[in-house]
A and B are shown apart, each in its own frame.
Chain A
């Protein structure tokens, strides 16, 4: 393979990898706060893309406004999910909550199908113009946005967790919820916030990628699996690991397209997921498994 092809591969890999990292981060946020895997995480992404496309297409809103509205709406949806369902389940197990999120994913997906139909939706890239040419590889302007904003968001989150009071409280809940509660941290509010942030992150990912790949109502679950794969590669509970995992997954997927028929692309990512979990269930970089009661040793 020529160096131009390799560079192209890297660009593609980092672009989708950025999306997978954002989805993985969303998973992590909710998992850290509640020990629940949010099966609707992928739907947040799809909603972000489709809502923006609809806002731009039918109401003629300027792009930046449409994006803001879409992200805000999905964040609000996250809050609603916590308010209406998650926080109300008293006698359920973590699995029950996860299945509720699965039910929600089905609701969102069916609603989208009924509302916008099965065809892909689209809106223009943030900045118009032809793609750049770097050393023989093609770099779409939108891809710069995806990687750029993605990295910016990840850095901002890191800062948020280490330097803001709210962020540190979220981390405390992740480490030990009971202890956090005893220290006066409002766990309920933290959970609510994690859902809101998760929704916003997911929607942002959708908004970023739609100009490149279009948004279709049924992309959600596969995206969720890939975000999960990002976390699995990196290790649950650690944000930085999900980011690394996301980019790694993107690169692996991009590389596979060079060698395998395109119809197998998704299977590659899924196989990575399976292998990663088989080799090291707590994530290849080491992470935290779901909290279970363990025998005192």
Chain B
């Protein structure tokens, strides 16, 4: 219940923040932060809660973006159709791929998902007729409702923020349901889950599809806001950065995921003098953080909380 209060405060801050933001650049950052939030939350549910690692999320992210682009630019359909396709196509693909692939565990799964992500990237580059190759697809029509357009920073700030908060709320709710408990048990012991009647093969594929769908949603938002898509936004580095961001924030926690997503977005900005060097910072952060506290920033918060509770117990 505490979590709901924190969320409400954050939502309030989000609603009011534009009063204080004056530069388009800051809106930009927040929009990408919300897009990253959706991506990392998807990965968190998949890895942190269901125990299935994926180094290929950028592939689904890209499919979502390209779906949003292709369905509108190539087929002339309204942007909403592109948005729906951006969620459903990756999700369906995720389920179909997930059934066989998720029989693998640990490293095998990490490598196979990385390979899948790389193959998808090659598809984005090589299938020129469909994707425009290296140049990508430009001129994506923005979703508009009346005077509001998805291309406008303020509108997109509220749209992506709203979707981001909704995803967060739904994810928080999910982990507390029977479905969430099944996921979490499956992560620690697939045998225990199966002995309770949980169909783990199907469950893994479903969560994989869910995270793929969320990645696709993020891709659609990206395509809508930026207006064009090209393969260089959906590389193995993207996938690796998402996983590392999750690791730093805290793998086993949705709040950790959120923190990681915002860190991932704002760090290049804070270090923009260093340009490409922010990769160094992220890498160093991962190494240092995981060596000291495998549960990431969330783990550090938990340690603080336990320390404070311990102190309070002593004085009580």
Residues of A that sit less than 8 Å from B by CB: 37, 84-85, 88-89, 91-96, 98-100, 102-107, 109-111, 113-114, 221-222, 225, 228-229, 232, 261, 263-264, 266-267, 270-271, 273-274, 277-278, 281, 290, 292, 295
Q: Closest Cβ of chain A: how far from B106's Cβ, in Å?
A: 6
B277-303 CB contact bits vs A (8 Å, 1 = yes)?
A: 101101111110011001000000000
How many chain B residues have a CB neighbour from A under 8 Å? 40
Q: Residue on A with the closest CB to B287?
A: A103
Cβ–Cβ contact A281 & B286, under 8 A: no
Contacts of A225 on B, CB cut-off 8 Å?
Answer: 111, 114-115, 118
Contacts of A228 on B, CB cut-off 8 Å?
Answer: 107, 111
CA–CA, A106 and B122, complex, Å: 21
Given pairs A113-B279, A114-B277, A278-B103, 12 additional interface contacts (CB within 8 A): A99-B247, A103-B247, A106-B241, A106-B282, A110-B277, A110-B280, A221-B240, A222-B236, A232-B111, A267-B118, A270-B119, A273-B115
Cβ–Cβ contact A106 & B118, under 8 A: no
In the complex, whether B101 has a CB less than 8 A from a CB of chain A is yes
Q: Residue on A with the closest CB to B125?
A: A263
Q: Closest Cβ of chain B: how far from A42's Cβ, in Å?
A: 11
In the complex, whether B175 has a CB less than 8 A from a CB of chain A is no
Cβ–Cβ contact A266 & B290, under 8 A: no
Cβ–Cβ contact A261 & B126, under 8 A: yes
Cβ–Cβ contact A103 & B126, under 8 A: no
Cβ–Cβ contact B284 & A222, under 8 A: no
Contacts of A232 on B, CB cut-off 8 Å?
Answer: 108, 111
In the complex, whether B150 has a CB less than 8 A from a CB of chain A is no
Residues of B that sit less than 8 Å from A by CB: 53, 100-101, 103-108, 110-112, 114-116, 118-119, 122, 125-126, 191, 236, 240-241, 243-244, 247, 276-277, 279-280, 282-287, 290-291, 294
Cβ–Cβ contact A114 & B119, under 8 A: no
CA–CA, A37 and B114, complex, Å: 14
Contacts of A290 on B, CB cut-off 8 Å?
Answer: 105-107
| Contact count A vs B, C-beta below 8 Å | 129
Contacts A92-B290, A263-B122, A281-B103 given; indicate if A102 touches B111 (C-beta within 8 A).
Answer: no
CA–CA, A102 and B191, complex, Å: 29
Complex partner residue of A106 from B108, B115, B119, B240, CB under 8 angstroms: B240
Q: Closest Cβ of chain B: how far from A27's Cβ, in Å?
A: 10
Cβ–Cβ contact A106 & B290, under 8 A: no
Contacts of B283 on A, CB cut-off 8 Å?
Answer: 103-107, 110
Q: Closest Cβ of chain A: how far from B113's Cβ, in Å?
A: 10
Contacts of A281 on B, CB cut-off 8 Å?
Answer: 103-104, 108
Top 8 A-B pairs, shortest CB-CB distance: A103-B286, A110-B279, A107-B283, A106-B283, A270-B115, A92-B294, A37-B107, A96-B294
Residue pairs across A and B with Cβ atoms less than 8 A apart, 15 shown, are A98-B107, A100-B290, A102-B244, A103-B247, A103-B283, A104-B287, A105-B240, A105-B283, A113-B276, A114-B277, A225-B118, A271-B119, A277-B108, A278-B101, A281-B104
CA–CA, A114 and B278, complex, Å: 11
Cβ–Cβ contact A111 & B280, under 8 A: yes
CA–CA, A147 and B114, complex, Å: 29
CA–CA, A111 and B274, complex, Å: 12
Contacts of B247 on A, CB cut-off 8 Å?
Answer: 99, 103
Cβ–Cβ contact B294 & A91, under 8 A: yes
Cβ–Cβ contact A100 & B111, under 8 A: no
CA–CA, A290 and B108, complex, Å: 10
Complex partner residue of A273 from B53, B112, B125, B279, CB under 8 angstroms: B112
CA–CA, A92 and B108, complex, Å: 19
Cβ–Cβ contact B115 & A99, under 8 A: no
Q: Residue on B with the closest CB to A108?
A: B283
Cβ–Cβ contact A267 & B286, under 8 A: no
Contacts of B294 on A, CB cut-off 8 Å?
Answer: 89, 91-93, 96
Cβ–Cβ contact B280 & A114, under 8 A: yes
Cβ–Cβ contact B106 & A96, under 8 A: no
CA–CA, A269 and B103, complex, Å: 21
Cβ–Cβ contact A88 & B291, under 8 A: yes
CA–CA, A222 and B240, complex, Å: 13
Cβ–Cβ contact A106 & B112, under 8 A: no
CA–CA, A93 and B186, complex, Å: 17
CA–CA, A125 and B200, complex, Å: 53
CA–CA, A96 and B106, complex, Å: 11
Q: Which of B111, B119, B125, B191: most chain A CB closer than 10 A?
A: B111
CA–CA, A111 and B105, complex, Å: 31
Cβ–Cβ contact B119 & A103, under 8 A: no
Q: Residue on B with the closest CB to A37?
A: B107
CA–CA, A281 and B101, complex, Å: 10
Q: Which of A103, A261, A264, A295: most chain B CB closer than 10 A?
A: A103
Q: Closest Cβ of chain B: how far from A296's Cβ, in Å?
A: 13
CA–CA, A102 and B289, complex, Å: 13
Q: Residue on A with the closest CB to B236?
A: A221
Q: Residue on A with the closest CB to B118?
A: A270
Contacts A225-B118, A263-B126 given; indicate if A96 touches B290 (C-beta within 8 A).
Answer: yes
Contacts of A114 on B, CB cut-off 8 Å?
Answer: 276-277, 280
Q: Residue on A with the closest CB to B100?
A: A278
Q: Closest Cβ of chain B: how far from A93's Cβ, in Å?
A: 7
Q: Closest Cβ of chain B: how far from A131's Cβ, in Å?
A: 30
Q: Closest Cβ of chain A: how far from B60's Cβ, in Å?
A: 16
Cβ–Cβ contact A95 & B106, under 8 A: yes
CA–CA, A104 and B283, complex, Å: 6
Q: Closest Cβ of chain A: how far from B21's Cβ, in Å?
A: 30
Q: Residue on B with the closest CB to A282?
A: B108
Q: Residue on B with the closest CB to A294?
A: B191
Contacts of A267 on B, CB cut-off 8 Å?
Answer: 118-119, 122
